[in-house]
Amino acid sequence: EKDYIEKALIVTDGNRTQAAKILEISLRSLIYKIKDYGL
């Protein structure tokens, strides 16, 4: 899961909103996971 999040952030140039859409999760969930994984 961490790898998918990293790749989504790279593809979107760090745009969390777009990355959340790609990953089909809420922005709040993405931000929590970024903090959790230390990204």
State the pTM of this model.
0.83
Digit-by-digit pLDDT tens for the chain (39 residues) are 999 999 999 999 999 999 999 999 999 999 999 999 998
20 contacts 27 by C-beta, under 8 angstroms? yes
* Residues recorded for the chain: 39
pLDDT for position 6: 97
**pLDDT, the chain, mean:** 96
Q: Which are the contacts of 2, defined by CB distance < 8 A and separation ≥ 6?
A: 37, 39
Burial zone of 19 (CB within 10 Å; 0-12 exposed, 13-18 middle, 19+ buried): buried
Domain ranges of the chain: 2-37
Q: Which amino acid is at 2?
A: K
